Amino acid sequence: MKEGVKYTEVGYAGGDMPDPEYKNMGDHTEKVQIHYDPDIVSYEELVEMFFDTQTCPHLNQSNQYRSILFYEDENEKDIILRIMEKKEKDKGEKFDTDIRPFKNFYPAEDYHQKYYFKRIRKLYHDMKEIYISEKELTMSTAVGHINGYVHGHGNNEMLKEEIHELGLTEEGKELLESFVKEFDKRKGL
């Protein structure tokens, strides 16, 4: 829910097998591709966020869940390495994160996109009234924010600022507010 992030898409990356699927992803890793506006949020800020959410180390992970950051050019690689080194010093531990050149990304199946949001049928049906295709739904910033809220990210204060802009019915708004209040209570907010 970072300002400047247009939408996210889950999928598979980093391997050589063509057309991976969840049940057969071969040598790929599950990844999130972030589509963003560089005039609002920088690549550097996104890399900082990545390392701020990582725990050290990530040893003995399967390839499917491996911690990987991809870069498209030497400048992005330098940014990743500089930030990773700083975060490792701050934490006093090394990250087990692969740094690789980007070569491909395969979007995951529709049922994986905005997974947490789709589990809440009422919210899903509200948004299907606005976004007819699954691709439009995946690319929706509003749906991305709702997905984050129902997964426990954000808080009631943040939701109050944007709830009327998400396109939900009154019943949908009440349902989303109840999720966020429950998460806030668990977080002690």
Residue with tokens 């910033």: 141
> What is the C-alpha to C-alpha distance for residues 3 and 128, in angstroms, rounded to an integer?
24
Residue 36: CB partners within 8 Å, gap ≥ 6? 2, 4, 5, 6, 46
| pLDDT computed for residue 43 by the predictor | 96
* pLDDT tens series, the chain, 189 aa: 568 888 899 999 999 999 999 999 999 999 999 999 999 999 999 999 999 887 655 555 677 878 899 999 999 999 999 999 999 999 888 888 889 999 999 999 998 999 999 999 999 999 999 998 999 998 998 999 999 899 988 889 999 999 999 999 999 999 999 999 998 888 887
Q: Classify residue 92 as exposed, middle or buried by CB count within 10 Å of its CB (0-12, 13-18, 19+).
A: exposed
| pLDDT computed for residue 66 by the predictor | 82
H-helix or E-strand spanning residue 49: helix 43-52
Q: Please count the other Cβ atoms lying within 10 Å of the Cβ belonging to residue 137.
A: 22
| pLDDT computed for residue 57 by the predictor | 57
pTM of the model: 0.80
> What is the C-alpha to C-alpha distance for residues 48 and 43, in angstroms, rounded to an integer?
9
> What is the C-alpha to C-alpha distance for residues 3 and 106, in angstroms, rounded to an integer?
25
